[in-house]
């Protein structure tokens, strides 16, 4: 086993057979943190965005916060109810993409896929950036280097996911459940203190909030509606990640659809509970919260500016500090779990993106390599591509959540709308043929749920586009268009190649003539083996070809050729400029042109070496020559290998590594127990 293999095993763990795929499937207790961490973690920053939007109109606008929270909760529960229909109707893991493709056509399916791919990349960038920004206020060496540390965390998450869904899910379960317990516990304790009259104000309650320029005095009804729409669209960031469960149904244990639907219900209930508790507590505890770039709108009680270097803590941090002012460990627990979950929320995308990419690759919209599973039965190529794109986005926006959040949720609501429309078409089509009254009633109920869901998500999408387009949403729309065009181009390419490779009647006609050419550089064992192999194929014409780049060397080879009485004619190609590749290619093409219905078979002797550095010393001309000849029609290139001693030693090392019995192999069933062998694998 080489050094690279050892490092790979240390990072990823032992290989898993394809038959072990069932061992990686998730029970509900693990599936919830794996697929719901994104939607749950958005509770940590969605309230911040709501209060930031409302703050421009002053403290009085905060009175709308709980109403906006209720509206967001209604939309979330509606989407959850709609997606419960999806996972039952389409349990294969295609999710929104499959629903749209089957019911609305390929164009709609590709549109949904492009929207989801963009949203997954943004999920990683926003979640990681938010977590790093929170950590920067407590960890000095992170401050000022957020983009770097965010990129490092993306790579760490990618490595964890390369180890497999089950292992990464187990790792993420504890902090995800810790976040749920922390936030819900904070809400319950805050409710108890409010009922007993002991609930204190948050730290920012002492400050005065100045309205933003343009909102001084009494604002018009139209301006208020637009402001509330912006706050609502920002709060809808809490819905991101809901679709991940419908895309990850194959990762659930059986019964897959029922387990996925139950997990969806748990997700919706928990997320709504946490969102409502945070916003209601913030309103009750007189929170004042503005964008970090507008801190000058917060003033002290006497009207003076805030102290230099004032650090505005997040909404959750301010609430937790006040609620647990008599129990410091509770505050630190909530903050720690929030910071961790914001980083780990990106795991939802690391599970959803590769699965969706594999389905798109299977359907010919993305490169086929994305449909292959790695050593740990994870879609490794999709994980690596997601990590690369997320890092590029983090660096481009310097890990600033305020800038990234403007690109967010556009893609997911595009997929929501097309998915709901597709499900309506699905139920309508099946109602035309279904006669069982019980089944028809269930279908009518499901269609009504999807219809209501379409109405809600369509309104949200319009609001998001109107309020966020110029603020940055246009970048997400542009990225979706780029993904769409790329997938359409790849799909068209695969279709054209498929048509081109269709077997036709004349494809089975034998060539009229086979002209074999053995390339010669020296008279040695590789050359003799290539000649023998060429003779065994019994071509119509067989000749050896030598390029005369050095007259002295050529004369020596000709002399040795005659002395050994080799019964194959040796043709010498004159090369006045000492080129090797060009004379051979031109000669092969001339032979092919002379007999267009024939085949030219070129045999190239090659060394098989045992060390990477030996490859640098050998076979370079052969590699370049093969690259040129592969583009010549009617030419077959055959490499005739000759194993050097170093390759034999390398093979023996590999065989010893494969045959070696390691600790735990018998227990795992990788080898059978043999009592005639000792613990080291040696025969007694």
pLDDT tens-digit map of 516-540: 999 998 888 889 999 999 999 999 9
In a domain, 165, yes or no: yes
Indicate whether 6 pLDDT > 50.
no
pLDDT tens-digit map of 534-577: 999 999 999 999 998 888 889 999 999 999 899 999 999 988 87
Token couple for 20? 């072990």
pLDDT tens-digit map of 469-490: 777 778 888 889 999 999 999 9
What whole-number distance in Å separates Cα of residue 348 and Cα of residue 28? 15
**Same structural domain for residues 486 and 516?**
no
**Same structural domain for residues 240 and 285?**
yes
In a domain, 501, yes or no: no
pLDDT score for 239: 78
In a domain, 669, yes or no: no
Q: Given phi > 0 = left and psi -120 to 50 = alpha, else beta, which region is 678? A: beta
pLDDT score for 166: 47
In a domain, 683, yes or no: no
Long-range contacts of 9-14 (CB under 8 A, 24+ apart): 11/159, 11/162, 11/163, 12/159, 12/162, 12/163, 12/374, 12/375, 12/376, 13/163, 13/164, 13/167, 13/376
- Percentage of the chain lying above the pLDDT 90 cut: 18
Residue with the bigger pLDDT between 298 and 139: it is: 298
Indicate whether 209 pLDDT > 70.
yes
Check which CATH number belongs to the domain holding 626 and give it. 3.40.50
**Same structural domain for residues 487 and 525?**
no
pLDDT interval class at 301 (50, 70, 90):
confident
Please name the residues in contact with 14: beta carbons below 8 A apart, sequence gap of 6 or more.
Answer: none
Kind plus residue range of the DSSP H or E element containing 667: helix 665-668
What whole-number distance in Å separates Cα of residue 155 and Cα of residue 136? 19
**Same structural domain for residues 135 and 237?**
yes
pLDDT score for 183: 92
pLDDT score for 653: 60
Range of the domain at 571: 511-664
pLDDT tens-digit map of 109-127: 899 889 888 888 888 888 7
Model pTM? 0.69
603: closest CA among 512, 522, 542, 523? 542
Domain end call among 492, 526, 549: 492
**Same structural domain for residues 414 and 488?**
yes
Residue 621: CB atoms within 10 Å = 15
What whole-number distance in Å separates Cα of residue 129 and Cα of residue 41? 13
In a domain, 7, yes or no: no
**Same structural domain for residues 328 and 284?**
yes
Q: What is the mean pLDDT of residues 260-270?
A: 88
Domain end call among 443, 458, 492: 492
In a domain, 497, yes or no: no
**Same structural domain for residues 484 and 520?**
no
pLDDT score for 1: 46
Check which CATH number belongs to the domain holding 466 and give it. 1.20.1740.10
Indicate whether 20 pLDDT > 50.
no
Torsion angles phi and psi, residue 126, rounded to 5: -70, -45
**Same structural domain for residues 198 and 169?**
yes
In a domain, 389, yes or no: yes
Residue with the bigger pLDDT between 239 and 179: it is: 179
**Same structural domain for residues 166 and 267?**
yes
**Same structural domain for residues 121 and 202?**
yes
CB–CB of 247/379 below 8 Å? no
Into how many domains does the chain fold? 2
pLDDT score for 230: 80
In a domain, 630, yes or no: yes
**Same structural domain for residues 74 and 109?**
yes
pLDDT interval class at 642 (50, 70, 90):
confident
Inter-helix orientation angle 328-344/28-41, to 10°: 90
Residue carrying structure tokens 């390691």: 662
Domain end call among 492, 525, 547: 492
**Same structural domain for residues 569 and 484?**
no
């Amino acid at each position: 086993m080489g050094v690279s293999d050892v490092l790979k095993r240390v990072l990823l763990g032992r290989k898993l057979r394809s038959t072990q795929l069932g061992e990686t499937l998730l029970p509900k207790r693990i599936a919830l943190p794996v697929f719901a961490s994104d939607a749950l973690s958005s509770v940590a920053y969605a309230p911040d965005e709501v209060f930031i939007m409302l703050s421009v109109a002053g403290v009085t606008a905060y009175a709308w916060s709980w109403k906006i929270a209720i509206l967001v909760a209604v939309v979330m529960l509606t989407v959850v109810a709609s997606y419960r229909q999806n996972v039952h109707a389409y349990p294969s893991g295609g999710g929104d993409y499959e629903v749209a493709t089957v019911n609305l056509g390929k164009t709609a399916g590709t549109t949904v896929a492009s929207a989801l791919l963009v949203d997954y990349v943004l999920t990683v960038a926003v979640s990681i950036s938010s977590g790093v920004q929170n950590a920067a206020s407590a960890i000095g060496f992170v401050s000022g280097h957020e983009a770097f540390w965010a990129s490092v965390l993306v790579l760490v998450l990618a490595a964890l996911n390369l180890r497999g869904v089950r292992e990464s899910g187990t790792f993420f379960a504890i902090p995800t459940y810790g976040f749920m317990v922390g936030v819900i516990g904070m809400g319950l304790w805050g409710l108890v203190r409010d009922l007993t009259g002991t609930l204190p104000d948050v730290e920012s309650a002492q400050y005065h909030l100045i309205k933003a320029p343009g909102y001084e005095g009494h604002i018009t009804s139209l301006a208020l509606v637009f402001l509330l729409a912006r706050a609502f669209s920002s709060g809808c960031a809490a819905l991101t990640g809901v679709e991940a469960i419908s895309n990850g149904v194959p990762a659930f244990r059986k019964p897959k659809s029922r387990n996925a639907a139950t997990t969806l219900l748990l997700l919706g209930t928990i997320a709504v509970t946490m969102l409502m508790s945070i916003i209601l507590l913030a309103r009750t505890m007189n929170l004042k919260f503005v964008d970090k770039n507008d801190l000058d709108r917060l003033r002290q009680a006497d009207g003076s500016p805030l102290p230099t270097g004032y650090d505005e803590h997040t909404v959750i941090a301010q609430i937790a500090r006040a609620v647990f002012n008599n129990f410091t460990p509770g505050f630190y627990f909530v903050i720690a779990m929030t910071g961790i979950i914001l980083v780990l929320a990106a795991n939802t995308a690391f599970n959803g993106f590769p699965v969706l990419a594999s389905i798109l690759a299977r359907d010919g919209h993305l490169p086929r390599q994305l449909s292959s599973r790695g050593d740990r039965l994870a879609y490794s190529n999709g994980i690596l591509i997601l990590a690369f794109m997320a890092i590029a986005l983090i660096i481009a926006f310097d890990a600033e959540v305020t800038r990234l959040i403007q690109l967010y949720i556009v893609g997911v609501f595009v997929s929501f709308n097309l998915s709901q429309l597709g499900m309506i078409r699905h139920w309508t089509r099946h109602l035309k043929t279904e006669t069982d009254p019980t089944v028809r009633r269930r279908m009518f109920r499901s269609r009504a749920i999807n219809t209501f869901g379409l109405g809600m998500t369509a309104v949200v999408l319009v609001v998001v586009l109107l309020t966020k387009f110029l603020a940055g949403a246009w970048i997400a729309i542009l990225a979706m268009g780029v993904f769409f065009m790329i997938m359409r181009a790849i799909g068209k390419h695969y279709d054209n190649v498929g048509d081109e490779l269709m077997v036709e009647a004349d494809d089975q006609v034998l060539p009229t003539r086979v002209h074999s050419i053995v390339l010669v550089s020296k008279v040695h064992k590789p050359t003799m083996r290539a000649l023998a192999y060429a003779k065994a194929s019994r071509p119509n014409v067989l000749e050896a070809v030598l390029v005369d780049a050095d007259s002295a060397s050529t004369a020596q080879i000709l002399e040795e050729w005659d002395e050994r009485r080799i019964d194959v004619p040796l043709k010498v190609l004159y090369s006045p400029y000492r080129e090797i590749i060009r004379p051979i290619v031109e000669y092969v093409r001339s032979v092919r042109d002379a007999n267009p219905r024939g085949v030219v078979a070129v045999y190239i002797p090659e060394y098989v070496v045992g060390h990477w550095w030996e490859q640098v010393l050998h076979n370079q001309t052969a590699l370049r020559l093969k690259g040129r000849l592969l583009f010549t029609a009617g030419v077959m290139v055959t490499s005739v290998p000759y194993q050097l001693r170093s390759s034999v030693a390398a093979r023996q090392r590999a065989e010893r590594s494969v045959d070696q019995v390691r600790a735990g192999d018998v227990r795992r069933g990788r080898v059978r127990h043999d009592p005639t062998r000792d613990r080291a694998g040696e025969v007694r």
